[in-house]
């Protein structure tokens, strides 16, 4: 495809691999700008497939479906990190502009490669990963540094939202934990004394324009994001500057084109570590749908169409609250489904509700989120707690 063919203008079609809520928001952002969207996802009820002009219900390795998608879409992105690298490469071979490409995604898909990538960039970023040890075979269990314990053993691939992990307190527990995870390649990470977590959404265009979106401070429950606060209440200007420098190095060294989330840990002793990359828009950036001049999803659309990036200035302090399937489920066996009390939540002046159109609630399944926009993060957080009481959230210590 020649450069003269760019940028893409509506009503051209854009493609998205994956039909979850991230894909759904991409579809909405693309359609708002006048584009058509083709979604590839095997689920007939996928949230993105429900609203796209075209839904190809097929496996990500289905070459006929990929060829159909390539004929319709001149540019394609991904909405989750486990799209096979071969799928991305196949689409590129069909002459499609795919962002991000398989190189960046393959590093983010593999915790071993990801940690080594961070370690290799330490001299440029000034921020390294937590102490870690790679375990790819049983022989690697014998030379583990004692100072790494207590630690978390994580599978190198396919783990998310706390899945594929085991806490290990002593070397004597390591073998059984590795067996429990299936004897697959793993990373053993030192369990750090975390003060708070920050996530940086950063976007890079094909011509190397880079924008850092407002940094969020996150709180997790049971390994799943619970809420995000922007501006990050505990972030100093020096931490913000360090993250901005590090994020720009990371995205450029990955040769990454698209929207990416980088998670950072701030430890109790003031040390900062880089935790992981998500090669896609991110749950912690959902606040941008209402709080920023340009959302993370519109940025993703602009990157694909090779349009200038938007201004992602924060227009209002915001707290994003995740809504899990637990809120819908009642009874001894969670077999009674009742809609949450949206009426009283939507009576709150600061609340913006987003539901994902998922067919059935499940424990731990992300069903939606609420953005609370107010004069300050503190006031938005009060509103979030008020909504949690209305919706019957379990009592949580922040």
pLDDT in tens, 58-69: 999 999 999 999
Helices (H), the chain: 21-32, 63-72, 85-93, 102-108, 111-120, 122-125, 174-180, 237-253, 288-291, 296-305, 342-346, 377-391
pTM here is 0.94
Decide if 298 is inside a domain.
yes
Mean of pLDDT values over 232-255: 97
Residue that terminates a domain, selected from 81, 98, 115: 98
Return the CATH number at 376.
3.30.470.20
DSSP code of residue 314: B
Measured CA to CA, the distance from residue 252 to residue 245 in angstroms comes to 11
Alpha-carbon distances of 302 from 34, 160, 257, rounded to whole Å? 12, 27, 11
pLDDT in tens, 298-324: 999 999 999 999 999 999 999 999 999
User: Does 43 share its domain with 170?
Assistant: no
Note the pLDDT of residue 334.
82
Full residue range of the structural domain in which residue 154 is found: 131-190
Longest dimension (CA), the chain: 62
pLDDT in tens, 123-174: 999 999 999 999 999 989 988 999 999 999 999 987 555 567 899 999 989 9
Note the pLDDT of residue 162.
54
| Residue 94 main-chain phi, psi, to 5 deg | -80, 0
Question: Is pLDDT at 397 greater than 60 in this prediction?
Answer: no
User: Does 345 share its domain with 228?
Assistant: yes
User: Does 210 share its domain with 167?
Assistant: no
User: Does 257 share its domain with 236?
Assistant: yes
| Mean pLDDT for the chain overall | 94
Say if residues 153 and 168 touch (Cβ distance below 8 Å): yes
Structurally, the chain folds into a number of domains equal to 3
pLDDT > 90 fraction of the chain, expressed in percent and rounded: 88
């Amino acid at each position: 495809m020649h450069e003269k063919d760019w940028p893409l203008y509506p009503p051209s079609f854009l493609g998205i691999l994956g039909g979850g809520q991230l894909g759904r928001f991409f579809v909405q952002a693309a359609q708002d700008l006048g584009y058509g969207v083709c979604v590839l996802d095997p689920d007939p009820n996928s949230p993105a497939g429900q609203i796209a002009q075209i839904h190809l219900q097929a496996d990500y390795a289905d070459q006929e479906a990929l060829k159909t998608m390539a004929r319709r879409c001149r540019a394609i992105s991904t909405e989750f990190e486990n799209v096979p690298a071969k799928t991305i490469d196949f689409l590129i071979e069909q002459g499609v502009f795919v962002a991000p490409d398989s190189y960046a995604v393959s590093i983010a898909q593999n915790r071993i490669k990801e940690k080594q990538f961070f370690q290799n960039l330490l001299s440029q970023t000034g921020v390294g990963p937590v102490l870690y040890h790679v375990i790819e075979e049983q022989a690697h269990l014998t030379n583990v540094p004692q100072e790494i314990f207590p630690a978390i053993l994580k599978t190198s691939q396919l783990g998310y939202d706390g899945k594929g992990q085991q806490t290990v307190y002593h070397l004597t527990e390591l073998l059984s934990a590795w067996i429990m995870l299936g004897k697959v390649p793993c990373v053993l990470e030192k369990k750090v004394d975390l003060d708070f977590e920050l996530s940086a959404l950063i976007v890079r265009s094909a011509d190397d324009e880079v924008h850092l979106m407002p940094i969020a401070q996150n709180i997790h429950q049971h390994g799943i994001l619970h809420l995000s606060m922007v501006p990050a209440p505990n972030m100093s200007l020096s931490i913000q500057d360090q993250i901005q420098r590090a994020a720009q190095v990371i995205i450029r060294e990955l040769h990454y084109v698209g929207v990416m989330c980088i998670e950072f840990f701030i430890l109790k002793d003031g040390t900062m570590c880089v935790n992981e990359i998500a090669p896609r828009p991110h749950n912690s950036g959902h606040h941008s749908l209402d709080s920023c001049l340009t959302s993370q999803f519109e940025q993703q659309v602009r990157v694909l169409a090779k349009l200038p990036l938007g201004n992602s200035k924060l227009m209002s302090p915001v707290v994003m609250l995740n809504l899990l399937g637990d809120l819908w489920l009642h009874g001894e066996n969670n077999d009674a489904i009742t809609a949450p009390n949206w009426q009283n939540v939507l009576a709150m002046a600061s609340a913006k509700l987003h539901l994902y159109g998922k067919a059935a609630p499940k424990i731990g399944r992300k069903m939606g989120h609420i953005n609370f926009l107010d004069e300050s993060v503190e006031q938005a957080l009060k509103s979030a707690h008020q909504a949690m009481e209305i919706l019957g959230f379990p009592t949580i210590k922040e």
